[in-house]
């Protein structure tokens, strides 16, 4: 049986990825939704755009204006539960 891949939250708790990197990954996506996968200092990579495109939840939340904070909250939750590619 294979072990589950660690999530961003798991890697954060282990000190492998820090909070500033997670915010930077979200900021990079918010600035440019077509950005390449975000590479953390640990070598792990996460395709934030793929997370957004794969989830119907993001279709219900506006990305800009007064709704940007709501979108960021939903995005942060999705990022924390995602499993990045290994280094």
Of all residues in the chain, the percent with pLDDT exceeding 90 is 70
Distance between CA atoms of residues 31 and 81, nearest Å: 21
Nearest-10 crossing angle of helices 68-81, 19-31: 130
Distance between CA atoms of residues 87 and 79, nearest Å: 17
Q: Residue 62, Cβ neighbours under 10 Å: how many? A: 11
Task: Give the predicted TM-score (pTM) of the model.
Answer: 0.87
Distance between CA atoms of residues 63 and 43, nearest Å: 28
Residue 3 or 70, more confident: 70
Residue 1 has pLDDT above 90, yes or no: no
Distance between CA atoms of residues 58 and 43, nearest Å: 27
């Amino acid at each position: 049986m294979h072990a589950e891949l660690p999530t961003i939250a798991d890697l954060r708790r282990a000190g492998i990825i820090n909070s500033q990197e997670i915010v930077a990954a979200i900021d990079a996506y918010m600035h440019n939704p077509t950005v390449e996968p975000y590479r953390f200092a640990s070598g792990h990579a996460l395709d934030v755009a793929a997370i957004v495109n794969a989830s119907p939840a993001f279709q219900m939340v506006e990305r800009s204006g007064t709704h940007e904070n709501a979108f960021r909250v939903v995005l942060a939750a999705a990022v924390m539960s995602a499993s990045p590619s290994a280094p």
